[in-house]
Amino acid sequence: MAAIRKAMAMSSDRRVLTSLFHPPSRLISFRGIASKLFVGGLSFYTSDKGLSEAFSQYGQVVEAKVVTDRVSDKSKGFGFVTFASEDEAHTALTEMNGKSLNGRVIFVDYAKPTTNFRGGIPIARGPPEEKTDE
């Protein structure tokens, strides 16, 4: 935090300040999330290969994954498609949203970043134990 204050105090040029603070949309594209699409409403018979083939006509598909249940190994009805570029992902989003795939109308949107709550938020298990100084 001190480094940011120091940079702000030293710099009167706004270009330097704006390069320090990128808007969230720019950060998403830097992390590659903007090229990953969420695909919902999939048929339970759609496979990873079928999903990849359907979206490959709009650009280079890096990965296509249908999410399955851990126990039964059956499709949960949604998946993710990752494209090589942001432009290809945008084209696929506009073209495939609302189209039919394997007899089901699918909806496509940009994937949201995952939030990992494991280990981050402790589970409450009653009041804290009293500490004694001995």
What is the domain class of 35-110 according to CATH? Answer: alpha beta
Spans of the chain, pLDDT less than 70: 1-33, 115-126, 128, 134
pLDDT of residue 55: 96
CA-CA-CA-CA torsion sign (15, 28, 30, 119):
positive
Estimate the crossing angle of helix 86-96 against helix 48-55, to 10 degrees. Answer: 100
pLDDT of residue 131: 74
Of 102, 113, 111, residue with least CA distance to 51:
102
Cα separation, 87 vs 18, in Å, equals 25
pLDDT of residue 47: 95
CA distances from residue 61 to 8, 35, 52, 110 in whole angstroms, order as listed: 42, 10, 7, 15
pLDDT of residue 122: 60
pLDDT of residue 81: 96
pLDDT of residue 76: 95
pLDDT of residue 4: 53
pLDDT of residue 27: 41
pLDDT of residue 103: 93
pLDDT of residue 101: 94
pLDDT of residue 129: 73
